[in-house]
Amino acid sequence: MLDSSTRELLCLWAARERGVLDALATEAGTPADVADTAGVDPAAADAFVTALADAGYVERVGDEYEPTNRLLGFLTKTDLRSVGSLPAALDAVDGWVALGEGDSFESPDALRNDLGAQWATDEATVRAAVTAAIRAAPGADAAAVVGDGPGRHARDLLARGLDATIVETPARADAVEPLLSPTAVRLEAGGPEAIPDADLVLLPGFLERHDDPACERWLAAAAEAAPVVVAVGPLRDRSSGGALADLEAVARGEGRVRPAAAVRGLFAAAGLDCAVEAVPGTPLFAAVGRRVQ
């Protein structure tokens, strides 16, 4: 049997695929309206609406159902802080369904979905990753964070007294700039060459989202910019469910969740000695690279 979180995810995926979410967000206020608007079976429409109400996506107002802010944030994606992790999870389901067909599936909203999921990363995981990075470079005053999107890790570094700069691709930088402009976190848009000189470069959740050549380019640039480079993420041969996470990365058309030896190889190609350490309290590992003397 499926657990409740998996059922909720599949409910949302099916409701999105069948047009139920769009119907509820626009004109449909009753299960009968949903059945007519989305063209689904009346019994299924009734079950969809009941389940979505129970999960907090719609609420009953008088004789009809209305979308809650949770559903509207999920659909409109105007504010990255309201997107949450579920849209990116639904993109992952799309990837699983299309796995092995050749071309990988890409949602038109993939960029904002991914950034929304990054914002929704739980605080304990963010703090654990930052703690691992600071432990690797205890005297650091300035850090660059690659691929941090809305800046959860950079904000934590800033709160701990470090100067923090996020390096992002131009498209992602444009999307997150409104969230970062009120903060003291600096934002650099560009490729590997945009990494500024720092005492520490942190790459959270980065390696598993990029292929080997891209990882080698970014790691080489990071090694030029800072004496300590830390990549935090899962490992295929050490993290619980690592092999399935690797398959999901393939399904999403991203990089790979690599075994520890492969990660060390990427660091070595960038001229970095690499040690791999568990990140306490998480299923993640920190690959700590130092320039070869």
CA 104 to chain CA centroid, nearest Å:
18
If one counts the domains in the chain, the total is: 2
pLDDT at 101: 82
Question: Residue 252 is part of a domain; what is its CATH number?
Answer: 3.40.50.150
> Who wins on pLDDT, 9 or 106?
9
DSSP string, 34-71: HHHHHT--HHHHHHHHHHHHHTTSEEEETTEEEE-HHH
Banded model confidence at residue 1, pLDDT cuts 50, 70, 90? confident
Copy the structure tokens of residue 107.
């949602």
292 CB-contact burial (10 Å; exposed 0-12 / middle 13-18 / buried 19+): exposed
Place of tokens 């989202």: 209
Separation between Cα atoms, residue 126 and residue 148, nearest integer Å: 11
Same domain, yes or no: 186 and 246: yes
> Who wins on pLDDT, 105 or 13?
13
Question: Which tens digits make up the pLDDT trace of 118-169?
Answer: 999 999 999 999 999 999 999 999 999 999 999 999 999 999 999 999 999 9
In a 3-state reduction of DSSP, which class is residue 238?
coil
> Who wins on pLDDT, 106 or 227?
227
Same domain, yes or no: 144 and 52: no
pLDDT at 266: 98
pLDDT at 73: 82
In a domain, 284, yes or no: yes
Banded model confidence at residue 108, pLDDT cuts 50, 70, 90? confident
In a domain, 85, yes or no: no
Mean pLDDT of 18-34: 94
Neighbours of 137 (CB within 10 A): 22
Q: What is the mean pLDDT of the chain?
A: 95
Question: Residue 24 is part of a domain; what is its CATH number?
Answer: 1.10.10.10
Reply yes or no on whether the pLDDT at 267 is more than 80. Answer: yes
pLDDT at 279: 98
In a domain, 53, yes or no: yes
Q: Range of 51's domain?
A: 4-76
pTM, two decimal places:
0.92
